[in-house]
Structure 1
């Protein structure tokens, strides 16, 4: 498997009438090929240079963003949503996602927690609010797919 194989599969899923569900199906089909996906994205490094997850974007279009994300031990995002559907396929390590819902005008209420291990898939709706963090003492590496270019979506 190579990067263009992942992009081709992702673009095909993104063009479906329900792209979030189609992407979940595409990622499910990759579960048996985690090593191949990991190797295809191995050109992306995992830097411990700062306190943010290492994002390596390998495909960007107005309706699809695909990237490899590496959370080094101890890293944690602030609460956020993506303003579009999102799906994660965990490749190695472990990532904890704490899920929230809006409570009042400025508050958040924890509604659940999802622990991702290799082969786990986490699908989010456009209004899913979560905190992501590395859950072990080894880097958490995953394929993240979004229904739009996060840098150009209203948030």
Structure 2
């Protein structure tokens, strides 16, 4: 059980990440994130149990973006990139990643997997391409940190059937979350 000494403070976490980014770049930010999610119950106590597919933005700036991402049970995100370094720390649930790379034919091909459990942190380089699945029958919550303004960046996604590359933007992401919440609501009322 979390004690007062190990409480997660959202504002202090953001301040610590900003200071770490200035002092040692993303490797230093990773240490801050790892310390936070190592007591994943304290983070969950502070942020609450996720109840839908959503992003809760802590910080958006030209040099750093921090938000929580919540995945509904059995939610899948198609292959996509971020075009900047990324850190993911899981505080509840699980996130399974398929890591992709560009193929000789100009498409993408799967080349690795990474399963993140509560308390785990992953670092993705700026050129990473990944797809995400929450394989659980409960919600997953993670803290995501990007080395730049995630919401202003031009990104790509790949069609899950054809693996054809497409542009991605904030509107597509918002619609994907809305569709996922509708799918989840329909599944629980069947």
Partner of 1:68: 68
Task: Give the conservation status (yes or no) of the 8 Å contact 2:38–2:120.
Answer: no
Q: TM-score, normalised by structure 1?
A: 0.87
| Separation in structure 1 between the aligned mates of residue 114 and residue 71 of structure 2, nearest angstrom | 16
SS at match of 1:70: strand
Larger RCO of the pair (alpha carbons < 8 Å, separation 6+): 1
Partner of 2:36: 30
Which residue, out of 16, 25, 35, partners 1:9? 16
Residue 20 (structure 1) aligned with residue 26 (structure 2): yes
User: Where do 5+ consecutive residues of structure 1 fail to align?
Assistant: 48-52
| Separation in structure 2 between the aligned mates of residue 8 and residue 92 of structure 1, nearest angstrom | 23
| Separation in structure 2 between the aligned mates of residue 60 and residue 39 of structure 1, nearest angstrom | 23
1:32-111 superposed matches below 5 A: 32-42=38-48, 45-47=50-52, 53-104=53-104, 106-111=106-111
Task: Give the conservation status (yes or no) of the 8 Å contact 1:41–1:68.
Answer: no
Following superposition, the deviation at residue 36 of structure 1 comes to 2.1
Task: Give the conservation status (yes or no) of the 8 Å contact 1:96–1:135.
Answer: yes
1:102-121 superposed matches below 5 A: 102-104=102-104, 106-121=106-121
- Name the larger-Rg structure: 2
Following superposition, the deviation at residue 41 of structure 1 comes to 2.2
Report the RMSD for the aligned CA atoms in angstroms: 1.7
Following superposition, the deviation at residue 149 of structure 1 comes to 1.5
User: Where do 5+ consecutive residues of structure 2 fail to align?
Assistant: 1-7, 156-190
CA deviation string 1:2-39 (max 9, x = no partner): 2111111111122134x221121112222432222222
Following superposition, the deviation at residue 45 of structure 1 comes to 4.8
Q: TM-score, normalised by structure 2?
A: 0.72
Residues 136 and 111 of structure 1: CA distance in aligned 2, closer, same or farther (over 3 Å): same
Q: How many residues get paired?
A: 148
